[in-house]
Structure 1
Amino acid sequence: MVASSHSAMAFPLLKYLLVFTCFMIGICSAQLTNNFYDRTCPKVIKTIKKAVDDAVYRERRMGASLLRLHFHDCFVQGCDASVLLDDTPNFTGEKNSFPNANSLRGFEVIDNIKSQLEELCPGVVSCADILAVAASEAVGILGGQRWNVPLGRRDSTSASLSEANSDIPAPFLDLNGLISTFSNKGFTVQEMVTLSGAHTIGLVRCRFFRDRIYNETNIDPSFSAAMKEECPFDDGDDNLSPFDSKTPMYFDNAYYRNLIESKGLVHSDQQLFVDGSGLTKRQVIAYSKNFGRFKHDFANAMFKMSQLSPLTGSDGQIRNNCHFINPTTDE
């Protein structure tokens, strides 16, 4: 079909708007493709999926850990595997930030995958792509919907402790703070509610919910009493409890039913269903009644998140070891 003169004139403007949008919100998938490794490492997807399947079947909690690793990576500098970098004499990585210290896990699963891929196709597959595929597979195993993961990310040569402390959504945020934090990464209010549903799986430390169970009033009394047994007032900072007390190891919509019952464990979760929350409250109710809608929306939101500011082309590097930047040739 031959384009009309009007369409031909409109195309440059459309292209400009797409580029401008990519620049403004840091989401640009033009250089990520589904067939990126078809020639250079054709078994990459199969290798990652099998390793994740094995890890999650050994320990179901690992599914939430792998999803969280990818989430915390993408919210700091984009999806560039900066979260995996260990501290060096020259910089402090993101692992020791407030949201991550003594909390992030699953590194051994990523290391195992990287080791296998280095044997199959040395220096080809990035740690950032491994994280992205692993997250999708982990959610799928636990009952959610896998999402398409275009590939071609490269790994960063830096990390940011300060951004990890400031950019990752904190469990004590009020609703406006949550909206602002997600908006800064290009997500709508609706997508924020959807992505918060990641807390349908996984565990959280006592220090992050103690203030809620002892001081807040919009909490079910019996639930609060049970949680106080798990999280004493002056002890047990690192005691673990599930975000979702109903089905913590299954990706479902019980998280949203908990919020309606005032059983959100951390302050930021319950904020989605506080008086006056309007749009978020209606969305919580909708998801509580329709798991199919939630898991579909979650997959779409994660697809978008997986494309936050990827390093592509000649930017960054393909790390030989996910924990360390490759040594330069003059070292």
Structure 2
Amino acid sequence: MTDATTSVHRHHVSTDDPDVAAAHQHGYAHFRYEPIARDGFAFDLTASFAGAFGVSRMRHTGRFRAQVEPPRRMIVVEVLEGGLWVTADGHDVAAHLMLAPHWSSHAAGWDTVALRLTTLDLEEVERVGAEISGLGPSEVLFGTMTPRSTALARYWTALVDHVDRALLAEDELMGTRLVRAETLRQLAAGVLTVFPNSTLDHRDVGGPDVVEPATVRRAIEFMEAHAHEDVSIAQVAEAARMGPRGLQAAFRRHRAQSPLDYLRRVRMDRAHQDLQLGDPTRGDTVGGIAARWGFANAGRFAVDYRRAYGYSPSETLRR
């Protein structure tokens, strides 16, 4: 089932007016900029947004220098052509992948550049960071613009490639609430993995020495009852009557997995049931059923499904 109220919003602008270009750039962050030469100037922006996240491509010719206020959202910047430099907290950074410093004002500039910008709701990133670390959302802090390693930088690029080309390009997928929620979570977890932040020292921490099995049962009952919804660790922990950190520890101890791993398996089982009951002659498809339960990547779903049940989802649907 799709949710038409949160379809992908797309827009494109192309102009030779620097002031018009600046007005569109102000949608990402407020800034004061030096006058831009109009001769030969060109600006092109293509953007796709699905609620709390989006991916944009921008090309800006000519010399640009600006003082930038902290962005209202988290923005990861990839340099596709040219070069970009940012000065924040006394540090100069010129990299092909960087996190725009949402924690401080900064200076930025380039001499003709093409960028890919991935935007995320900052509160959603903090929420995911709290879930995986046990910290409070206000304790999820970033302070470094560059990735932790070149391998992680490549991982981020591949992740955004998939979101941009395979997900945001498909209205039907993005119209499915669980797919949007899972995509947002993947991007938020990606930022938290790729860029240094306060959660990295608090993941996989132990919980209390003794956790009542009833706590885990309450969490399981809640996840099974709400598997069709966008469920957060905070909600599961509240239903279990304990904190997120204790819940993570309880599941590791009693189930040898995380709560989200368990929830994913519940959704896989529900998809399995729907495939068994599905009928291709009525229009049922593997991709549609997978998306219904939050599995946006049909290829990955097929691999995980075969690992779980010993045969492909298409074989189940045809039986």
Shared fold (TM-score, shorter chain, > 0.5)? no
Higher strand content, 1 or 2: 2
Higher helix content, 1 or 2: 1
Greater relative contact order structure (CA < 8 Å, 6+ sep): 1
Q: Whose radius of gyration is greater, 1 or 2?
A: 2
